[in-house]
Structure 1
Amino acid sequence: MPEGFTENDVDLDAPRLFSDTFALIYLQNMARLGLVAYSFALPLMAQKDTLNFYQKCLDSSIPAYRETDHNHA
């Protein structure tokens, strides 16, 4: 029987895998991608519930981008 993920699998003293700069740039690029993708999808939606979903996605991408953009922080 597999044991799965346990506390023995975590090394709290392990070095970081990524720098803060890498994480910030990654988040900024994902927010940019969200802005582009959702803005393209929004006018293509025919059903109101789907349109509302993509609008909420677009609305949540704006603050995510602004929080990661050093020019607007």
Structure 2
Amino acid sequence: MPYVNIKITREGASADQKRELIAGVTGLLQRVLGKNPATTVVTIDEVDFENWGIGGLPVLDYRAAQAAKEPPR
């Protein structure tokens, strides 16, 4: 029984987007590993921004630093 835990920042993923993630991961496990969709469990955890860090920075600070590095389009 596969168990997949998806963690995303709390930014307003819609119910439809979550439904698509669950279906997509379940289908991928079935296609690649031959896993039974009926016994595949997928959970989605939404994490508050202040509880998520990347590269030693809170995620919002990291994103701001990355945006400052991007050349104008």
The bucket for the TM-score relative to the shorter chain is: 0.3 to 0.5
TM-score when normalising by structure 1:
0.34
> If each structure's helix is expressed as a fraction of its own residues, which one has the higher value?
1
Greater relative CO (CA pairs within 8 A, separation 6+): 2
